[in-house]
Amino acid sequence: MPATTKRRPLRTLLAALSGMLAAALVTAPPANARVDEPTAALAEVTGFGENPSNLQMYLYVPDNVSDKPAVVVAPHWCGGSGPAMHTTTEYASLADRYGYIVIYPSVTRDTKCFDVSSPQALRRGGGSDPVGIKSMVDWVTRMYDADTSRIFATGISSGGMTTNVLLALYPDVFAAGASFAGVPFGCFATTDGAEWNHPCANGDIDRTPQEWGDLVRAAYPGYNGPRPRMQVWHGTEDDVLCYPNFKEQIEQWANVLGVSQTPAVTDSPQSSWTRTRYGGTGDQAPVEGISLQGVGHPDLYATGMAARVLTFFGLASG
């Protein structure tokens, strides 16, 4: 699909597509590919464990992998793949510098969209994609003696939504996440088998912070342990997963983490960026939001953003 088509308003695309094909709207690859080539090779891993939705697992292990390495899970956008996420983002080249391992889950269903809508995907151990991704993490921690206190997730579009799902279902696994152009956990929920939720995509679902937080808490009933930190990125001109979802994600995770909905600090780390931090003022605040003025869905991800994600995770050192 040409890039110009992907930038048309959502209502125009929806007139041309129906049902499950609407999910294919979230096909925009990152705008700027990384410059540095990684030194190791991407490898596919099979037989990694329980995998009810037949995901593929791609793994990047740098040549200088650390002892007790951290792990970054990087789910792709709709229409993408694990290898595409590998080649169009900087996480592998930065792994060469910092010694962590990257898991690139890859969808095999026709839409190439992660399941963030079915009842199975929205409860812990329910099945579908989250179970397969959790199996990938378990495999890596066994095989590479990874540091289980430093497991992270970051994704774009469908992968950004998946990041929200993983942090909600597995708060005992993930230490933090970074969602690019995503939506809150539970926002995309459907009960009719549809992968696409139009009101959520359009930014029409407005819940209270408590209601959003309750959805996360209900995903893993009885869990009372620590919750992962969340970083949220969104462009103000996103017409695929519309900009109101930025605010709703922040409300959800601030409530889940028990911090104020009022920013502790607001600044502009780069021209046209507005950064807000909640519950703290440092690089690892409980919740961080970065709003990109004038940026649309296909153009959200740019070179240099991954380094800021790693700073939020606490991996950009050494």
Please identify every residue annotated as catalytic.
157
Beta pairing class for 287-292 and 273-278: antiparallel
Residue 7's Cβ-count burial label (10 Å; 0-12, 13-18, 19+) is middle
State the amino acid at position 256 in one-letter form. Answer: V
Query: Quick one: which of 131, 133, 28 has its CA closest to 85?
Result: 28
Q: Where are the alpha helices (DSSP H) in the chain?
A: 3-6, 10-16, 82-88, 91-98, 128-144, 158-169, 198-201, 209-219, 244-256, 305-313
User: Are the CB atoms for 234 and 181 separated by under 8 Å?
Assistant: yes
Query: Quick one: which of 131, 137, 133 has its CA closest to 149?
Result: 137
Residue 199's Cβ-count burial label (10 Å; 0-12, 13-18, 19+) is exposed
User: Are the CB atoms for 227 and 256 separated by under 8 Å?
Assistant: yes
DSSP conformation letters of 247-271: HHHHHHHHHHTT--SS-SEEE-SST
Q: In the chain, count of helices (H) and strands (E)?
A: 10, 10
Which residue bears the tokens 């926002």? Answer: 187
